[in-house]
Structure 1
Amino acid sequence: MLVTAPVQPDLPTPQAAPAWASLDAFLAQIGPRAFRFAEAGLRQREDALDAVQDAMMKMLAYRDRPAEEWTPLFWSILRRRIIDMQRRARFRLRWLSPAGDDPRGEEAIDWADPGAGPAQAHERREAYARLGEALRALPARQREAFTLRVLEDLDVATTARVMGCSEGSVKTHLSRARQALLTQMEDVL
């Protein structure tokens, strides 16, 4: 007589757990940088947090993709989300606000080192605020190229994929952004 074991329900395979864990680690690692990128584009803390959260939620749909695809995919998703939010904000501001009013207040973020003295912390906050202003003053494509290439340290090919343009365009935007930032930040550097 042949005895068979009872049929077990399908359980998650051991490989499924590390994929979640590594995606969680990826999102945790990229979160602060993504927030700064979003804040530079949206100019408001709450909108930046929403954009990053939305991008992270959309990344969950791509958890089965190879890990090497996550970085350009995440930045592409976040970039598209920021552009959508900018368009909505422009539409609302144009139709709901009196001419010349900007209902969104600027809120500074304290990135200072907690171990620094008050004068050093103040200088760092001011330098960060000036850099943020200088980045915001750049055209969107230059700001994106600078942030992705310099601050995020993505290679030219990946940056081009994220931005949806050629590698030559990335280099041009980056060169112009660097020149504009150097001009604006001469006394800080």
Structure 2
Amino acid sequence: MATEQELSDFLKSVERRAFKRSVYHVRDEEAALDIVQDSMMKLAQHYGDKPAAELPMLFQRILSNCTLDWFRRQKTRRALFSNLSDFDSVDEDGDFDLLENFVSPTDSREAESAEDTTRRTQIFQEIEEQIAALPGRQREAFLMRYWEEMDVAETAAAMGCSEGSVKTHCSRAVHALSKALKAKGISL
């Protein structure tokens, strides 16, 4: 059974990644924030008594379900209010870096030139754009496996699919990213 402190620490540890993952899916920062907050509340209310080891998988599943619920509500709103363009707006001006945890000003890169810094920033932006362009299930599997560092079984449970499907989605995502980045002249 997770203590209040363990639950709080867990939520703090996943907050930023969950937000970014939601932004990739819904492409609206305010909606993503609402989805993450709703997911966190549901986890605390309904599963706060579960063991701490189960919280990551439960949270990923809740986050996925809340995201799907958001898309369903948007589809309903568009159907009801199809003449209002407000519901079709997409915010693509996110000012976050996909790999910001790996690139910090305190890195041992003091001697790096402005050209190198600019090039690295452009590469990260390109990677971010290519991840955002992946089909939804591929993006979801890729982010869970390689960003959230969940194993195949956890990812399958969170996505509600088989382990084979997770492997297929991840493989396709990696190949698509590799191909797109190679076409842009970026080799990692």
Whether TM-score is above 0.5 comes out as: yes
Q: Which structure's CA Rg is the greater one?
A: 1
Does residue 64 in structure 1 map to residue 49 in structure 2?
yes
> Given that residues 38 and 51 in structure 1 are in contact (C-alpha distance below 8 angstroms), is that contact kept between their aligned partners in structure 2?
yes
Once the two structures are superposed, the pairs formed by residues 144-155 of structure 1 within 5 Å of their partners are: 144-155=140-151
SS of 2:3 mapped into structure 1 = helix
User: RMSD in angstroms over aligned alpha carbons?
Assistant: 2.3
> Given that residues 29 and 91 in structure 2 are in contact (C-alpha distance below 8 angstroms), is that contact kept between their aligned partners in structure 1?
no
Greater relative CO (CA pairs within 8 A, separation 6+): 2
Equivalent in the alignment of 1:73 = 58
State the alpha-carbon separation in 2 of the partners of residues 35 and 154 from structure 1. 17
Q: Mind listing any 5+ residue stretches in structure 1 that lack a counterpart?
A: 1-15
Q: Mind listing any 5+ residue stretches in structure 2 that lack a counterpart?
A: none
Of 39, 52, 68, the match for 1:83 = 68
State the alpha-carbon separation in 2 of the partners of residues 118 and 86 from structure 1. 41
Does residue 179 in structure 1 map to residue 175 in structure 2?
yes
> Given that residues 57 and 154 in structure 2 are in contact (C-alpha distance below 8 angstroms), is that contact kept between their aligned partners in structure 1?
yes
SS of 1:109 mapped into structure 2 = coil
Does residue 20 in structure 1 map to residue 20 in structure 2?
no
Of 151, 154, 161, the match for 1:165 = 161
The count of corresponding residues between Structure 1 and Structure 2 is: 171
Taking structure 1 as reference, are residues 83 and 151 closer, same or farther at Cα in structure 2, changes over 3 Å only?
same
Equivalent in the alignment of 1:6 = none
> Given that residues 108 and 129 in structure 1 are in contact (C-alpha distance below 8 angstroms), is that contact kept between their aligned partners in structure 2?
no
Shift of 1:91: 3.7
Does residue 50 in structure 1 map to residue 46 in structure 2?
no
Work out the percentage of aligned pairs sharing the same amino acid. 39
Taking structure 1 as reference, are residues 121 and 48 closer, same or farther at Cα in structure 2, changes over 3 Å only?
farther
Moved more, 107-116 or 65-74: 107-116
Equivalent in the alignment of 2:93 = 107
